[in-house]
């Protein structure tokens, strides 16, 4: 199975990069499943129903979220009727939406997609390790699922790495999101799980985490109230990770970093071309 995971979409540049590139990539790379983190898609803060539909129509099979899940209040309502949009599974009981979903690919394979959020330097939610464990126990790789993708939305690389090792051999891919800077540690862990500490963002990298540079820089210099953060408006780069799994086990055989667009050195699975 060929899987593509794309990091946090930030504002219009990220949405445009996905809309322009993803349909061609699905065909060119013969992708079976595409998952995208969309928690910053609406101007950098949350997601709306129309934007979620736009991402799905561009070729995503599922959209994950994070600490900005409900910045757009309409998400509290429409997330309940959109099974392909998931928020972290370790939100407290009673939170609208779901923390996992099963996608059926065009070839009939079942892909479990799980979203959890770390607790270091973020809101102290329920235990993400216990939440991930529950979801994988309910839908185990090789039995109920042909592939398992876990989006670990977290600040600390240590917490992400710990999740990768905790789920090694039980997931096809554990990938970190949230910090918007792609890391270079993509690899297949000893028991067959592909891992990357952070997928980066889909957005304008001539920015501060996808936001226009001036206000974030001013805040660091002056530490005083100022104007609201605005998403950058330059051309967007597509960032994420590509994984090829073994059909018999669902575990990863190969993993590649994906970076397509300006400002960063480009990288992609050339073996798929």
Give catalytic residue positions: 68
Strand order of the sheet with strand 238-245? 85-86, 62-64, 33-37, 2-6, 238-245, 252-260
Partners of residue 152 on adjacent β-strands? 116, 176
Between CA 204 and CA 234 the distance in angstroms is: 5
Contact 242, 260 (CB under 8 A): no
For 33, phi then psi, to 5°, come to: -150, 135
Per DSSP, the three-state class of 153 is strand
| Strands laid side by side in the 173-177 sheet | 100-104, 110-117, 147-153, 173-177, 194-196, 187-188
**Closest by alpha carbon to 175, among 152, 146, 147, 148?**
152
Q: Beta strand 33-37 with 2-6: parallel, antiparallel or unpaired?
A: parallel
**DSSP code of residue 120:** T
- Cβ(27)–Cβ(59) below 8 Å: no
Closest CA relative to residue 30, chosen from 54, 4, 58, 5:
4
Residues 6+ apart with CB under 8 A from 29: 2, 4, 242, 269, 272, 273
CA 13, CA 233: separation in Å to the nearest integer?
A: 6
């Amino acid at each position: 199975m060929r899987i593509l995971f794309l990091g946090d979409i930030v504002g219009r540049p990220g949405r445009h990069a996905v809309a322009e590139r993803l349909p061609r990539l699905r065909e060119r790379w013969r992708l079976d499943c595409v998952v995208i983190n969309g928690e910053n898609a609406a101007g950098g803060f949350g997601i709306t129903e129309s934007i979620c539909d736009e991402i799905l129509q561009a070729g995503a099979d599922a959209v994950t979220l994070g600490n900005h899940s409900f910045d757009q209040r309409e998400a509290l309502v429409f997330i309940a009727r959109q099974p392909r949009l998931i928020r972290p599974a370790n939100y407290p009981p009673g939170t609208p939406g779901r923390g996992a979903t099963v996608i059926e690919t065009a070839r009939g394979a079942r892909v479990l997609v799980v979203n959890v959020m770390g607790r270091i330097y973020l809101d102290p939610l329920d235990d993400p390790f216990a939440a991930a464990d529950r979801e994988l126990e309910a839908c185990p790789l090789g039995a109920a699922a042909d592939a398992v993708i876990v989006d670990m939305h977290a600040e600390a690389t240590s917490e992400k790495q710990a999740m990768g090792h905790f789920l090694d051999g039980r997931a096809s891919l554990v990938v970190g999101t949230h910090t918007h800077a792609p890391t270079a540690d993509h690899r297949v862990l000893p028991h067959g799980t592909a891992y990357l500490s952070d997928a980066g963002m889909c957005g304008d990298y001539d920015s501060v985490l996808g936001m226009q540079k001036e206000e974030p820089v001013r805040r660091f210099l002056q530490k005083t109230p100022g104007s609201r953060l605005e998403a950058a408006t330059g051309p967007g780069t597509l960032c994420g990770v590509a994984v090829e799994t073994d059909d018999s086990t669902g575990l990863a055989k190969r993993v590649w970093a994906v970076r397509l667009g300006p400002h960063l050195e480009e990288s992609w699975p050339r073996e798929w071309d």
